Chain A
Amino acid sequence: MRKSLYALLILGVGMSAMAQNEQRHHHRRKPLEQMVTGQGYGLAGCGLGSIVFGPQPGMVQVVAATTNGTFYSQSFGITSGTSNCDIPRMGQQAAEFIQVNKEIVMKDAARGNGETINALADIFGCSDANVLGADMQKHFSTYFNPKNNSYEITRRLLKSLKTDAALKASCKSA
């Protein structure tokens, strides 16, 4: 009796270790883009359509996969009644990028340079990423107020591109 109890104990330890591994793995198995996407996606309102507001307020879904099945949802630069249509195509790309890379974008912005700033400069057509980096660092709290979602951050960036002299000179107008 004792023997089998011990055996069961060991088996239990082994199994729970496996199960724990499995849990983590189950949790991890969804690729990141799916985790960000959440359940379901649909035709986006605007531009690239990469970002769709989910059922709960504040929840943002990102559709990244461009397999043929989902390709349509991202294909059209249209304007319909959905919100965020004030943002041009370039901004939709930026908003998607910021949404997915938010933790790193914020860190690079606070530092004033970094790879994600280079990518944003690429999206905004800025010839000098350092100008954009310096601006994002200087106005960090304006851009990255915790209340701002990716769209709001993008909107403020686009505004700076139009109003700030240095940025205007360096970047294409949106």
Chain B
Amino acid sequence: MRFFTTIFILVTFVCTVAHSRSQPTALITPKSALVDKALKLQLDRDPTWLRLGHYHKRHTIWGGVYWQSDEVDSDFFVAPAGRENPKAELIATLRGFFNPQKRHLSHSRPAETVKCEFPARYFFLMSRLGERPHESDFSECADYVLFRDRVRARSVTVVFSSYYMGNPESVFGHTLMRLNQADPSPEHSELLDYGVNYAAQTTTANPFLYAWDGLFGGFRGEFASMHYYFKVREYNDFDSRDLWEYDLNLTPAEVAQIVRHVWELGFASFRYFYLTSNCSYQLLTALEAAAPRLQLTSQLPFWVIPADTIRAVYNTPGLVTKVRFRPSLLRQYQWRSALLNTNERSQLRRLTTEIRKHERHLARLQKYLPSVKDPNVMDAALDYIDARFGKKLFHKDATVSDLKQEFLVARSQLAIAQPLPKIPEANSAPHLGHGTFRWSIGRGASTLPSTHDGYTNLSVRFALHSEVDPTIGYPPRSDVEFMHIIGNIYDAQPHASASPRQNPDPEIEEVRLIEVQNLTPYNTDFPHWSWKFRVGGEQTHDTELCVRCFSGVTESAAGLTWVPDSISGLTVFVMFDGQLNVGEFLGGSASAQVGPLMGIRQEWSPRFVTEFEGLRFVELHSEDKILGSRFKFDTEYSPHHNFGLYVSGLWIDSPTAGGQAIEAGLRLFR
């Protein structure tokens, strides 16, 4: 029944539109000559045409060159060979503009004419052909017109959603685009604007398949648009991630073309590559296609890290007009409580304590609540409930909902709140951060088994930020490293005949495929765990097992972090650490170390950070349970946000592997 109703409505609607449609504008060039003119103008090789089709130049193994689109859905091409042939696609598209027949599309998309499916191509081609296209040319395109009029875009903002440790796909951050209905002003309700998001359509929950598909293009990526408030709710409130908004300086014509191209992208899907062709990359290609003067993706290295795309946008002269900060729910709570005086703060402490015990003592809380007369204290307490129990509230947990209702009703009896003063926040804006690609060169000396000499260190890290790198532009105490390769070149020792090394001896010391360290402070308000995870490979220094053998390694640790208020910049963490090495030399078995770990991190200034880490471990692979200690430190001082000087050291004390190493040098970011 519903189906027939739908059809009926569709037919009625389409007919109404068809009747009211205006006469198509008369062409200057005859229809038949348009294709010839386009080819004569070589529009098939025009950079804008290639960008609109998301074409890229590719090389065959024989040295040949051909064009291929990143887009993989056949709906996105009019010509059957359109994906590999920009010229055939151009001809078919131009001819298609005058074909009133709707094309049948896949994925239960409604049928569309070529013109209604590709308004951005239409606008670009017709303007180049001297035909003066106009928005009214699309009056027969009911769906597109509806989309365009609902979005009503006047300007565009690029939004960066900060790093989030709770989820592997967001440890590098995320970007999306917002189509603003009016020029951003304090009164304008941007929550009702439309956000444009590109994301992988994931198909598996298996972590290994997920990683494989994510890295090697196993998922499809698609664009979607939704009200911005969905995204604010998801990132700001649900995940407690800060949002950074970059307003772009684009002409009205460019904004209109972005809307048209976003509409086209609704028919597209791409292969999603977590590290290259990801959310941030595709957002830039969409911007570039609509505003051809922009050169954004060419500024990026092979790997695309969301913060790097923000820097590419920010560093384009005149492109960003304003940077705005949208604090997460957690930040709002922290800020509200920071604004309270001592007396108010003790009231808040009483309330938060009661809130945590609400399951057992709701009656006591109900009795106490009316005595709280301070709206500021109540406002902070309400933010606390949302920040602490947001997920429970989302899943409609009855006890928390009742608790919140008590607070809400009590709050509504008090005075109207003053608007929250702006949160002073400058230090974590992503455009201020150091480049995510880092390489370093240093000199060191080592007394670890078989390395009794000097060496030169060369390391390269593809992303992102270590715990001693300059903290501006990154969340406090964060550490996310991806593909960090550390190599040493040991000095030649021509005089020592006993030494095996007559020539310089390069060696891969360690490979960190991924290392994530999450040091979220533990407190009674938010009792968070801290943890650490590392997977990769490293050289062993164990005289019993093997000296200088490369082994696979995985390390996990969990514990607590303490950030004392009294000492500025200090972080102390205690964890239980387990490390597993696997290598051929171990005879198919594995070696393991477990033990307590303690770390101290001191941030002297945002550009000068030192971290010490000590581990007492027991080696589980040995029959007589060898006890040992490992102590390491790393300190980095960065006079400029793109380079730093470092000193690092390592000290191991164990019956089978003792020694020290110290190293100093230069680290460069780009």
Q: Which residues of A contact B107 (CB under 8 A)?
A: 69
Which listed residue, A21, A43, A107, touches B168 by the CB 8 Å rule?
Answer: A21
Q: Tell me, in angstroms, the Cα distance from A6 to B223 when the chains sit together.
A: 47
Q: Tell me, in angstroms, the Cα distance from A101 to B227 when the chains sit together.
A: 12
Q: Which residues of A contact B2 (CB under 8 A)?
A: 42-43
Q: Tell me, in angstroms, the Cα distance from A150 to B110 when the chains sit together.
A: 30
Q: Which residues of B contact A31 (CB under 8 A)?
A: 197, 199, 230, 234
Inter-subunit contact A25/B168 (CB<8 Å): yes
Interface status of B567 (Cβ within 8 A of chain A): no
Inter-subunit contact B237/A22 (CB<8 Å): no
Given A17-B533, A29-B169, A68-B266, A7 and B226 contact (CB-CB distance below 8 Å) = no
Which of B439-447, B452-460, B497-505, B588-596 has 4 or more CB atoms under 8 Å from chain A? B588-596
Q: Tell me, in angstroms, the Cα distance from A35 to B13 when the chains sit together.
A: 31
Interface status of B580 (Cβ within 8 A of chain A): yes
> What's the least CB distance linking B562 to chain A, in Å?
22
Given A26-B205, A33-B226, A64-B230, A7 and B621 contact (CB-CB distance below 8 Å) = yes
- Interface of chain B residues 610 through 653 with chain A (CB within 8 A): 620-621, 623
Interface status of A91 (Cβ within 8 A of chain B): no
Given A33-B226, A107-B382, A28 and B166 contact (CB-CB distance below 8 Å) = yes
Inter-subunit contact A115/B191 (CB<8 Å): yes
Inter-subunit contact A69/B230 (CB<8 Å): no
Interface status of B363 (Cβ within 8 A of chain A): no
Interface size class of chain A, counting residues whose CB lies under 8 Å from the partner chain: 35 or more
Inter-subunit contact B531/A17 (CB<8 Å): yes
Binary flags per residue of B93-134, CB closer than 8 Å to A gives 1, else 0 = 000000000000001111000000000000000000000000
Interface status of A137 (Cβ within 8 A of chain B): yes
A interface majority secondary structure: helix
Inter-subunit contact A3/B621 (CB<8 Å): yes
Q: Which residues of B contact A103 (CB under 8 A)?
A: 237, 386, 390, 393-394, 404
Inter-subunit contact B222/A32 (CB<8 Å): no
Inter-subunit contact B556/A17 (CB<8 Å): yes
Q: Tell me, in angstroms, the Cα distance from A72 to B142 when the chains sit together.
A: 10
> What's the least CB distance linking A53 to chain B, in Å?
13
Inter-subunit contact B411/A110 (CB<8 Å): yes
Interface status of B344 (Cβ within 8 A of chain A): no
Q: Tell me, in angstroms, the Cα distance from A89 to B283 when the chains sit together.
A: 32
> What's the least CB distance linking A30 to chain B, in Å?
9
Inter-subunit contact A14/B554 (CB<8 Å): yes
Q: Tell me, in angstroms, the Cα distance from A43 to B199 when the chains sit together.
A: 25
Which residue of chain B has the shortest Cβ distance to A43 in the bound complex? B6
Inter-subunit contact A112/B405 (CB<8 Å): no
Interface status of B524 (Cβ within 8 A of chain A): no
Interface status of B419 (Cβ within 8 A of chain A): yes
Interface size class of chain B, counting residues whose CB lies under 8 Å from the partner chain: 35 or more
Which listed residue, B167, B191, B415, B578, touches A119 by the CB 8 Å rule?
Answer: B191
Binary flags per residue of B388-417, CB closer than 8 Å to A gives 1, else 0 = 001001100000011011011101100111
Interface status of A92 (Cβ within 8 A of chain B): no
> What's the least CB distance linking A68 to chain B, in Å?
4
Q: Which residues of A contact B591 (CB under 8 A)?
A: 7
Which of A138-146, A153-161, A166-174 has 4 or more CB atoms under 8 Å from chain B? A138-146
Interface status of B147 (Cβ within 8 A of chain A): yes
Q: Which residues of B contact A65 (CB under 8 A)?
A: 224-226
Binary flags per residue of A1-33, CB closer than 8 Å to B gives 1, else 0 = 011101101110110011101101110110111
Q: Tell me, in angstroms, the Cα distance from A115 to B326 when the chains sit together.
A: 12
Chain A CB count within 10 A is highest, among B417, B419, B621, for: B417
Inter-subunit contact B207/A111 (CB<8 Å): no
> What's the least CB distance linking B41 to chain A, in Å?
30
Which listed residue, B210, B229, B533, B621, touches A100 by the CB 8 Å rule?
Answer: B229
Q: Which residues of A contact B322 (CB under 8 A)?
A: none
Q: Which residues of A contact B223 (CB under 8 A)?
A: 67
Which listed residue, A19, A67, A118, touches B225 by the CB 8 Å rule?
Answer: A67
Q: Which residues of B contact A122 (CB under 8 A)?
A: 189, 192
Inter-subunit contact B191/A116 (CB<8 Å): yes
Q: Which residues of B contact A7 (CB under 8 A)?
A: 580, 589-592, 620-621
Inter-subunit contact A29/B146 (CB<8 Å): no
Inter-subunit contact A6/B620 (CB<8 Å): yes
Inter-subunit contact A78/B9 (CB<8 Å): yes
Inter-subunit contact A140/B408 (CB<8 Å): yes
Q: Which residues of B contact A85 (CB under 8 A)?
A: none
Inter-subunit contact B266/A67 (CB<8 Å): yes
> What's the least CB distance linking A14 to chain B, in Å?
5
Q: Tell me, in angstroms, the Cα distance from A133 to B228 when the chains sit together.
A: 22
Which residue of chain B has the shortest Cβ distance to A69 in the bound complex? B109
Interface status of B5 (Cβ within 8 A of chain A): yes
Which residue of chain B has the shortest Cβ distance to A26 in the bound complex? B205
Given A71-B143, A80-B5, A119-B189, A112 and B13 contact (CB-CB distance below 8 Å) = no
Which residue of chain A has the shortest Cβ distance to B516 in the bound complex? A21
Q: Nearest 8 CB-CB pairs, A to B?
A: A112-B416, A140-B412, A6-B620, A32-B234, A68-B266, A111-B417, A122-B189, A110-B411
Q: A residues engaging B (CB < 8 A)?
A: 2-4, 6-7, 9-11, 13-14, 17-19, 21-22, 24-26, 28-29, 31-33, 35, 42-43, 64-69, 71-72, 75-76, 78, 80, 97, 100-101, 103-104, 106-107, 109-116, 118-119, 121-123, 133-134, 137-138, 140-141, 144, 146
Additional A-B contact list (17), CB under 8 Å, known A66-B224, A100-B229, A114-B417: A7-B620, A10-B579, A11-B590, A21-B168, A22-B210, A25-B168, A31-B230, A66-B150, A71-B143, A71-B266, A72-B10, A72-B110, A103-B237, A103-B394, A140-B412, A146-B401, A146-B405
23 CB-based A-B contacts, threshold 8 Å: A7-B621, A10-B578, A10-B579, A10-B580, A10-B620, A18-B207, A21-B168, A29-B167, A29-B169, A32-B234, A33-B226, A35-B394, A66-B224, A67-B222, A68-B109, A68-B266, A68-B267, A71-B143, A107-B386, A111-B411, A111-B416, A119-B192, A122-B189
